[in-house]
Structure 1
Amino acid sequence: MFRKFFLPALITSLLIFSFSGTNAQGRRKGSPGQPFEVQITPYKTTMKADGKDTALIAVNIIDNQGKTVETADNLVTFVVSGKGGKILNIRSGENSIYSPVNGTWRAQVYHGKCDVILQTTINRGAIKFEAKADSLWTGSTDIQAVWPGVPHAVTNAKYKPRFVKDRILGADISFLPELESRGIKFSDKGVPKDAIGILKDHGFNYIRLRIFNDPAVPKGYSPGKGFCDLEHTKAMAKRVKAAGMKFLLDFHYSDTWADPGKQFKPAAWEGEDFTALKTSVHDFTVKVMQELKDQGTTPDMVQVGNEINHGMIWPEGSISNLDSLAQLIYAGITGVKEVAPKTIIMLHIALGGQNAESRFFLDNMAERKVPFDVIGLSYYPKWHGTLVDLKNNMADLAKRYPQQVCVAEYTQLKWEVNDIAFNVPNGKSVGTFIWEPLNTWEQIFDHDGKSNHLVDIYQEVAKKYDIK
């Protein structure tokens, strides 16, 4: 399904695509209010392979604007691949519970919705869940069934999480050098200005930058060009600091996009044994941090991995190998702390509204004594639940764990997400980072670089929450 880890050109083309008529595969391109896609929202994508664990998967028929079509009554077919899971039941409407017919699970949605309960077997491994309906885009997700095992601590040292004192209104604008290389110039209300300066003028005080190991390799993020490598990151870091802003550095530990659907090992680390792999993580982290420090742009905060609820640097760091994952994360953390002891460490998971899975990941990291400061969540309603889910999850995590809680990625529902993030209980609020507002999804700049009305929201957010 369409995720944010697609290449920038593809993201842009999808965003400006005109939905009308039918496409080459016979699916309707759609119009507002008409069924367009089967959207699925899994409330767990990591499950215990114990034959008992269950997960709710919410199914919605949506239009091309992402809104539920409440008049939809489509017949949906459900397919589960892999030995780790099976459908337990399907509910559509208050009194309608479905069972398989001749081994096939089908259900007719009620008011455009139905719920599926998935149950694990005793087999660990990947589970692919798909929901299909005639003429509509298929919804799918990958779920990992795991055996958690007996935890082994990465350190015996006690760690008290450091608190972020600033209230953060941040933006990930890592695409900026690519956009500028294509000749795009930015302006605000007709006045040309650096994009970073415009964001600062409208209340932003933090910038998030992603970094890949070697994005210029043939299978990397930016073949032959190397956008988001160390040199590009150093140049951007200088601009951020020159603007008087702070910055969060996001290590992907990959040559290309890393997220719950893929965490590809960098080409340079292929074939290394686990001891060498941990050393490579540590040494790469130290190199990046040291070069940034040497030019006077030490990151104020660092993400050790990007959306790592399914692990990082697969296969060794898969969520199926929790001890190994914890050791790789710890190798990155020690690399950061050797160079910059005061830098805040974030662990970033893509589970805005998925409380049970958030707790599974964080409990397992706590049992292994992984030392970090901030819990970062992604929140995209299509995959991460409702605003109520986000609010409840952030509140529970803030009460349950010693760390502060942050929305590390979002784009839609700008006011609502910020209101939730800045009202986390127990003084655990950090703030938010909007993902790529310069050119993707609900961007606050038009495609020609002109700021639009959405940028003004942030001045109001900054004023409301006294962001400096």
Structure 2
Amino acid sequence: MKRRTAITAAGAGALAVAAAAATPALAEAVGDDQGRPKPERFVRGADVSGLPKNEDFGAVYRKANGRTGDALKILAASGVNTIRAKVWVDPADGYNTKERVVELGRRVERAGMDLMVDFHYSDTWADPGKQFKPAAWAELPFEELTAAVYDHTADVLGALRDAGVRPTIVQVGNETNGGLLWPDGRWDQLEQMGRLLAAGCDAVHDTAPGAKAMLHLAEGGNNGAFTWFFDNAIAKGVEFDAIGASYYPFWHGPISGLEANLNDLATRYGKPLYVVETAYPFTTADSDGHPNIVTDPEPVAGYPSSPENQVHWLERIAEAVRNVPDGLGRGVIWWEATWTGVEGAGWDPADPASGNGWENQALFDFDGKALPGLRALGKL
């Protein structure tokens, strides 16, 4: 397995200049021609992992004025500057694969946005309640499993690089509160969990040196979960560059908890912080006959499901991120902004009849028209 090697100061400077030329976001981070450092631009992001499948099954997207258009171009024109896309290993439906993320990455590049890659290390959804191994890795001894994490990560990032796409952030695992690749890398196998995470981060640094290797947890208001995880990651030598949090105000507690957690993480670890998943319903209605995940007409007390409250929660969460000490709050990403209800484009890669329980939290309404929340996201 390849590992990072030492780089001289002169070599590091040359790499930084080359990376800056590759993407606008990195150029901002390096500085101007007088050598003055410039802050990275605030990430105004949208996860659109379900977009290619939605499009293939006939989804139509419209600008706020009702005119149809390409979803990514609509996002870019609204001010979105980063697209997040997940990668599965060998999903049954053939979506969210290496080939698919490369295709999507090319489109993102052409639209003038940055790409963030989210590795799930599974054939299906990975989150705090499930971290299932890909079928092809199920019987691998631990050393080979660690190598598989490195090789898969490097393979996807190498394919993106060869296609001219350079991600700015790469997530090594998705919502890994309880570890990854269970049972080998579960929370009660800390040494092995650390080695798996380190393998992914090493692959990011080796293959996409201009990208930040991010570790990502759910429950953005749960400071104890975050400090336990990141203290252990550091103790096990995991070389990560950024921290990502999921925060859904109807599941993860009051906004004060998110604020306190982000502020503490900034002080403890000094790493850039992002809310990489959030959302809020614009309606309680359903468009595809599949029950919605969030059905409460008032998911947070005092904030009924509405387009206006989508905007409110987006802006409130962004405020919490922007107020993080030392400028370490770096962005907000809306989860599955384009996942409208389309027959055949459901949540389960193994079940073509599955539906979408999230379409009432997209940033496009049931007619595919951009909601006010999209405009607000682009102005954060």
What range is the shorter-chain TM-score in?
0.7 to 0.9
2:234 pairs with one of 344, 363, 366: 366
SS for the counterpart of 1:209 is: strand
Matches within 5 A, 1:26-175: 165-175=40-50
Give the corresponding residue for 2:336.
436
Give the corresponding residue for 2:62.
187
SS for the counterpart of 2:377 is: helix
Give the corresponding residue for 1:449.
368
- Whether contact under 8 Å (2:79, 2:375) holds in the other structure is no
Query: Match for 2:372: what amino acid?
Result: H
* 2:377 counterpart of 1:458: yes
Give the corresponding residue for 1:270.
138
2:319 pairs with one of 414, 419, 427: 419
How far apart are residue 266 of structure 1 and its match?
0.4
How far apart are residue 155 of structure 1 and its match?
10
Alpha carbons of structure 1 residues 460 and 295: separation in structure 2 relative to 1, 3 Å: closer
Spell out, residue by residue over 1:251-298, the C-alpha distance to the aligned partner (whole angstroms, 9 max, x if none). Answer: 000000000000000000111111111111111111111111111012
Matches within 5 A, 1:404-415: 404-412=272-280, 413-415=313-315
* Counterparts of 2:264 and 2:147, CA distance in 1: 35
- Whether contact under 8 Å (1:155, 1:369) holds in the other structure is no
* Counterparts of 1:426 and 1:323, CA distance in 2: 32
Give the corresponding residue for 2:220.
352
* Counterparts of 2:378 and 2:208, CA distance in 1: 32
1:177 pairs with one of 52, 56, 74: 52
Larger radius of gyration: 1
- Whether contact under 8 Å (2:131, 2:180) holds in the other structure is yes
Q: CA RMSD in A?
A: 2.1
* Counterparts of 1:312 and 1:459, CA distance in 2: 33
* 2:187 counterpart of 1:319: yes
* 2:211 counterpart of 1:343: yes
* Counterparts of 1:375 and 1:201, CA distance in 2: 28
Alpha carbons of structure 1 residues 231 and 273: separation in structure 2 relative to 1, 3 Å: same
Query: Match for 1:275: what amino acid?
Result: E
Alpha carbons of structure 1 residues 393 and 368: separation in structure 2 relative to 1, 3 Å: same
Give the corresponding residue for 1:389.
257
* Counterparts of 1:260 and 1:365, CA distance in 2: 17
Matches within 5 A, 1:238-249: 238-249=106-117
* Counterparts of 1:166 and 1:368, CA distance in 2: 31
* Counterparts of 1:231 and 1:165, CA distance in 2: 29
Give the corresponding residue for 1:214.
90
Alpha carbons of structure 1 residues 166 and 456: separation in structure 2 relative to 1, 3 Å: closer
The count of aligned residue pairs is 298
Give the corresponding residue for 1:138.
none
Query: Match for 2:252: what amino acid?
Result: H
- Whether contact under 8 Å (1:156, 1:369) holds in the other structure is no
With CA pairs under 8 Å and 6+ residues apart, which has the higher RCO, 1 or 2?
Answer: 2
1:198 pairs with one of 64, 70, 74: 74
Spell out, residue by residue over 1:206-238, the C-alpha distance to the aligned partner (whole angstroms, 9 max, x if none). Answer: 00000000012xxxxx3xxx1111111111000
How far apart are residue 433 of structure 1 and its match?
0.7
- Whether contact under 8 Å (1:155, 1:370) holds in the other structure is no
Alpha carbons of structure 1 residues 418 and 267: separation in structure 2 relative to 1, 3 Å: same
Q: Which stretch shifts more, 283-292 or 203-212?
A: 283-292
SS for the counterpart of 2:185 is: coil
* Counterparts of 2:119 and 2:191, CA distance in 1: 20
Identity across matched positions, percent:
40
Q: Which ranges in structure 2 are unaligned for 5 or more consecutive residues?
A: 8-25, 30-38, 281-312, 341-357
How far apart are residue 157 of structure 1 and its match?
8.8
Give the corresponding residue for 1:306.
174
Query: Match for 2:244: what amino acid?
Result: G
* Counterparts of 2:379 and 2:154, CA distance in 1: 39
- Whether contact under 8 Å (1:173, 1:207) holds in the other structure is yes
SS for the counterpart of 1:430 is: strand
1:281 pairs with one of 145, 149, 164: 149
How far apart are residue 458 of structure 1 and its match?
2.4
* Counterparts of 1:455 and 1:244, CA distance in 2: 17
Spell out, residue by residue over 1:325-346, the C-alpha distance to the aligned partner (whole angstroms, 9 max, x if none). Answer: 0100111111122212221111
Spell out, residue by residue over 1:87-110, the C-alpha distance to the aligned partner (whole angstroms, 9 max, x if none). Answer: xxxxxxxxxxxxxxxxxxxxxxxx
Give the corresponding residue for 1:4.
none
Alpha carbons of structure 1 residues 331 and 446: separation in structure 2 relative to 1, 3 Å: same
Alpha carbons of structure 1 residues 237 and 315: separation in structure 2 relative to 1, 3 Å: same
SS for the counterpart of 1:297 is: coil
- Whether contact under 8 Å (2:176, 2:218) holds in the other structure is yes
SS for the counterpart of 1:348 is: strand
